[in-house]
Amino acid sequence: MNKIILAQLLVLLSVASRAADVQPMSASTVSVPAPVVAGPAEGTIAVGDIFMITLPCNPTTGFQWDVKSVNRKVALPKGPVTYHPIAGTEGLMGAGGRCTLDVQGMKPGKTTVVLVYHRAWEKGKKPAETFKSKLTVVAKKAS
Query: Which of 26, 27, 8 shows the shortest CA–CA distance to 16?
Result: 8
Residue 57 lies in a domain: yes
pTM exceeding the 0.75 threshold for the entire prediction:
no
The candidate with the shortest Cα–Cα distance to 48, out of 108, 100, 101, is 108
85: CATH: 2.60.40.2020
Residue 59, in any domain of the structure:
yes
Examine residue 143 and state whether it is found in any structural domain, yes or no.
no
Q: How many domains does the chain have?
A: 1
Sequence-distant (6+) residues with CB within 8 A of 109 are 71, 73, 74, 136, 137
The confidence score (pLDDT) of residue 35 equals 43
- Cα(first)–Cα(last) distance of the chain, in Å? 15
Question: Which pLDDT does position 80 carry in this prediction?
Answer: 93
Residue 21 backbone class (left: φ over 0; alpha: ψ -120 to 50; beta: rest): alpha
Other residues' Cβ atoms within 10 Å of the Cβ of residue 34:
7
Q: How far apart are CA 85 and CA 81, in angstroms?
A: 13
pLDDT lower than 50: segments of the chain: 1-36
pLDDT tens, residue by residue, 79-110: 999 999 888 877 777 888 999 999 999 999 99
pLDDT of residue 92: 76
CA atoms in the 13 A half-sphere facing the CB of 84: 15
Structural domain harbouring 18: 2-23+30-138
